[in-house]
Amino acid sequence: HITVIPEIDMPGHMQAALTSYPELGCTGGPYEVWKIWGISDDVLCAGNDETLKFIDDVLGEIIEIFPSEYIHVGGDECPKVRWKTCPKCQARIKALGIKGDKKHSAEAYLQSFIITHAEKFLNDKGRQIIGWDEILEGGLAPNSTVMSWRGSAGGIKAAQLGHDVIMTPNDYCYFDYYQSEDTRHEPFAIGGFVPLEKVYSLNPTASLTEEQAKHILGTQANLWTEYIPTSEQVEYMVLPRMAALAEVQWTQLEKKDYTNFTTRLAGLIGLYRRDGLNYREPFRQQADSTATEKK
Ligand code: ACM
Ligand code: ZN
């Protein structure tokens, strides 16, 4: 009873694809699969018709593999530097009559053209898209569901516009972030600080009216693994934060009680132990200052 929703992140996060298909980048490459962390300036060329065909081909294959109603098309972290100087991208902007305004650049609207293209392809096949909150920039593709990751603001705005939303604000739901401020005793991570209590405190419908709150489909934790080399470390990052987020999802706001949760956590920890899982000791934080051994 679990539905896996795949994400093909476009038009950014495409460095590896560009390595295989350099003709789909604005400069033509050559490109190399990245060996460093961060965001690449090289993205799919939005002015190239072959890019649109590539998107259709990839999504066409994806929907054959995944029966999910929703397909995630990304949309996050797409720098526009290449598009600004690419003749093909600029020609597309001209051909579409796109103009930048006070809110967004012409290139931001060009991204919206790409996402809308993917959305139309998927809608025609009976599927719906999910995209990161950046898809709000430059006009939201009409039926799209928004995943709010840069805090909750994008999700709130999308819900107010009548879009469905999944709340995964990084300051509550990024399980790749540290669980202690004393990072010396934690496995090396991307940064941030999301302790168990912070996860538990998330109210995904805060600042929404009852009507708008109906658009919040739920919450999600993200565990990006570029800093996480082993399954054991995956367990360490999600347990027991995953239990806190589960309770956020299925417990009515007025019944949420962190102290009560922590007393019940003992039973859950027993199950983690029984199954040999590598959880983070939830109340280790107080002991951190005296701890000497490195995890
Ligand atoms: C994201 O973390 N870039 C969605
Ligand atoms: Zn281009």
Digit-coded pLDDT (tens) for 60-77: 999 999 999 999 999 999
In 10 A of CB 214, how many CB atoms? 12
Tokens for 212? 């708008």
Alpha carbon separation from 146 to 157, 163, 283 (Å, rounded): 10, 7, 34
Confidence of residue 16 (pLDDT cuts 50, 70, 90): very high
Nearest atom, ligand 1, residue 222 CA: 2
Arithmetic mean of pLDDT, 175-194: 97
Mean pLDDT across the stretch 142-147? 91
Best of 8, 43, 132 for a ligand 1 pocket test (most atoms within 8 Å of beta carbon) = 132
pLDDT of residue 285: 53
Residues having CB closer than 6 A to ligand 1 are: 76-77, 132, 149, 222
Give me the mean pLDDT over the 136-156 stretch. 91
C-alpha 194 – ligand 1 centre gap (Å) = 16
Residues 92-118 have a mean pLDDT of 96
Calculate how far, in angstroms, residue 61's C-alpha sits from the geometric centre of ligand 2. 24
Structure tokens at 83: 């598009």
Ligand with minimal distance to 168 CA:
1
Q: Note the pLDDT of residue 61.
A: 98
Distance 10 CA to ligand 1 centre (A): 12
Question: Residue 185 above 60 pLDDT?
Answer: yes
Which spans in 210-250 are helix H? 210-213, 231-238, 241-250
Name 245's Cβ contacts closer than 8 Å, sequence gap at least 6.
173, 199, 202, 219, 221
Which residue's CA is minimally distant from atom 2 of ligand 1? 149
Q: How far lies 276's CA from each of 97, 239, 268, in Å?
A: 60, 12, 12
- Mean model confidence pLDDT for the chain: 94
How far is the centre of ligand 1, averaged over its atoms, from the C-alpha of 12 (Å)?
Answer: 11
**Distance of alpha carbon 44 from alpha carbon 13, whole angstroms:** 9
CB 253 within 8 A of CB 206: no
Tell me, in angstroms, the distance from the centre of ligand 2 to residue 262's CA: 52
- Smallest-distance ligand from the CA of 166: 1
Per-residue pLDDT averaged across 191-211, rounded?
A: 96
Give the pLDDT band (50/70/90) at residue 216.
very high
- Give percent above pLDDT 70 in the chain: 96
Measured in whole angstroms, how far is the alpha carbon of residue 171 from the centre of its chain? 13
- The residue to mutate among 5, 149, 223, having the most atoms of ligand 1 within 8 angstroms of its beta carbon, is 149
> How far is Cα 165 from Cα 66, in angstroms, rounded to an integer?
21
Confidence at 289, pLDDT banded by 50, 70, 90: very low
* Predicted confidence (pLDDT) at residue 257 exceeds the cutoff of 60: yes
Q: Which atom of ligand 1 is nearest to the CA of 77?
A: 3
Over range 149-178, report the average pLDDT: 97
Please check the confidence at residue 134 and state whether its pLDDT lies above 90: yes
SS3 59: helix
Range in 25-39, 129-143, 160-174, 275-289 the model is least confident about: 275-289
How close is the Cα of 165 to the center of ligand 1, in Å? 15
> How far is the C-alpha of 219 from the C-alpha of 222, rounded, in Å?
10
If you average pLDDT over residues 136-160, what whole number do you get? Answer: 92
What distance in Å separates the CA atoms of residue 149 and residue 160, rounded to the nearest whole number? 17
Q: What separation in Å is there between the alpha carbon of 148 and the centre of ligand 2?
A: 27
Burial string for 164-201 (b: 16+ CB within 10 Å, else e) reads bbbbbbbebbbbbbbbbeeeebbbebeeeebbbebbbe
Q: How confident is the model at residue 228 (pLDDT cuts 50, 70, 90)?
A: very high
The amino acid occupying position 149 is W
- Residue whose C-alpha is closest to residue 225's, from 197, 188, 269: 188
Distance between CA atoms of residues 133 and 35, nearest Å: 27
User: Whose CA is closest to atom 3 on ligand 1?
Assistant: 76
